Amino acid sequence: MGTLADLLRANTELRTGDIDHLHALVADWALLSDLSFADLLLLVPSQPSSDRRPVRGKRAESGAEFLVVAQVRPATGPTAYHNDEVGSVVMNRWVVQNAWRENRIAREGEPEWDDGVPVRTEAIPVRHGDRTIAVLARDTNLSTTRTPSALETAYLHCANHLALMTAEGFFPFRGGIIELPEAPRVGDGMMRLDGEGKVIFASPNALSAYRRLGYTGNITGEDLRTVHHKLDLPSTAPAVWHAIGQRRPVEVELNAGSTVVLLRAIPLFPGSHREILVLIRDVSDLRRREAQLLSKDATIREIHHRVKNNLQTVAALLRLQARRTRADEARSALRESVRRVTSIAVVHETLSQTLGESVPFDEIADQIAALTVDLATTGVRPATRRVGTFGNLPGALATPLALVLSELLQNAVEHAFDGRAGSIEVRVYRDENRLDVVVADNGAGLPADFQLEHSPRLGLQIVRQLVLGEMRGTIRLSAGPEQGTEALLSIPLGEA
């Protein structure tokens, strides 16, 4: 069916600003649906087309078509439509026609039946600027008898205000805050405040939230600023009234000991009326889990930092031992150990600075290349460069890959140039499932009888073991297309 934008561009001549307005409406219209106990269908006028299906239960006489481009069901009541109505057509529905042509909210008389379900429809014009660009059908399932209550009355009162604001072009809110997954929903708790900040109604869940904050009095009839002042929360209270002045939602977090309550203040201002709808959610458990995750993340980063420090200490000790060693072969072995330990330390240093389980490997590769070439060069330093990007790699892969890259660069410096000038290029190719790395030099090339699996060099033995074992990849050394040597490393990424 495509996205909302795709449907609108394919079936209407709406401008970009109009489409953005409808996107904003759909992003926040669950609020209106929940307050209304009703399904919402977003309808736009469209040219008749033979490949579209009419909405079941609607009259289909000849007349103007309205295409359903979005739908939301209420979390507070039964749905009117068990099927997805997006892509279906409403034809010659007078209530929709009236809302569109007369730019007013139109209400239906007798309910219509859809799949045996009595449905009452109210059509709300969606205004943007000086034009009506769509119609919002508010369809209520009447099969369940509802006993009017103070809670239901408060919900519907706020819903009607939002409907009027939609018809006036004030809902969705311009420049409103982006609603996060943790944002309170209607069922979490709600309050109605008058224009002066007095609580007209508070739902049972809202009362419970304030009890957990420590307020034991009756909230209804109280000025919310007074309530917050008694809770020693005076600094947060004024922010609720900023919603009226800014004409957009404002979120406020109340903290009282271990209890954290999130308020979302939503201004209601149809015509000359002024009210504030406050949604309330106790997020204490959520904040505790977030704190635990932050503590765990900080601990992991501290461990990586300490491992890096310990590895640097080991490298320093090996370096001191190499200076005191007289045998050239032993000194060379100790220096190679210093390089290998330092390569691992570079990975842990990067892990200690990141928040996730993966690391940006380009920086690590560049550091290792510079470090390895400097330590291994005895004559003219070969030029090195990287082509392509590694991207982010998981820490479990980054450590062996850093060692392998260091060994391949070391091997190229030591055996390709013999102190002469040359160049080394690290070429990286990555897709969703595989990482290929080529370390190519323009040096002397491989011996005629060279076989990687039988090479006596410790560095190449380490490379082969890491690639075939830890990384479950493949490694191949071959002659370059013109001269020199190419080491081709191929690693499956899986879910990396």
On the question of a common fold for 4-146+161-168 and 186-282, the answer reads yes
Let me know: does 5 contact 70? Beta carbons within 8 Å: no
**Cβ proximity of 37 and 74 under 8 Å:** yes
CA distances from 215 to 113, 187, 222, 229 (A): 47, 21, 12, 11
Per-residue pLDDT of 14-43, as tens digits, reads 889 999 999 999 988 999 999 999 999 999
**pLDDT reported for residue 85:** 87
Beta bridge partners of 199: 193
Give the separation between CA 296 and CA 299, rounded to whole angstroms.
Answer: 5
In angstroms, the CA 432 to CA 427 distance is 17
> Of 61-70, 279-288, 342-351, 373-382, where does the model show the most confidence?
279-288
Q: How confident is the model at residue 62 (pLDDT cuts 50, 70, 90)?
A: very low
Determine if residue 57 is left, alpha or beta; phi over 0 gives left, psi from -120 to 50 gives alpha, anything else beta. left
What residue ranges do the domains of the chain occupy?
4-146+161-168, 186-282
Note the pLDDT tens digit of each residue in 128-148: 989 999 999 999 888 876 677
pLDDT, position 237: 52
Least confidently predicted of 235-239, 264-268, 327-331? 235-239
Question: CATH code for 186-282?
Answer: 3.30.450.20
Distance CA 225, CA 244 (A): 15
Confidence at 70, pLDDT banded by 50, 70, 90: very high
Chain position carrying tokens 């919310």? 224
- Residue carrying structure tokens 């495509």: 2
pLDDT, mean of residues 266-286: 89
Q: How far apart are CA 173 and CA 33, in angstroms?
A: 16
pTM for the full predicted model: 0.63
pLDDT digits (tens, 9 = 90+) for 470-493: 888 898 888 877 778 888 989 898
pLDDT band at 277 (very low <50, low <70, confident <90, very high): very high
In this model, does residue 350 exceed pLDDT 60? yes
Q: State the chain's maximal CA–CA distance in angstroms.
A: 102
Which pLDDT belongs to residue 36? 93
pLDDT at 57 over 50: no
Provide mean pLDDT across the span 452-473: 83
Q: Is 6 exposed, middle or buried (0-12, 13-18, 19+ CB in 10 A)?
A: exposed
> In terms of CATH architecture, what is 4-146+161-168?
2-Layer Sandwich (3.30)
Instruction: Name, of 13-22, 90-99, 378-387, 480-489, the range with top average pLDDT.
Output: 13-22
**AA letter at 186:** V
Share of the chain above pLDDT 90, in %: 23
pLDDT of residue 56: 41
Please answer whether residues 262 and 281 qualify as being in contact, where contact means their C-beta atoms are separated by less than 8 angstroms. Answer: yes
CA angle 447, 449, 455 (to 5 degrees): 85
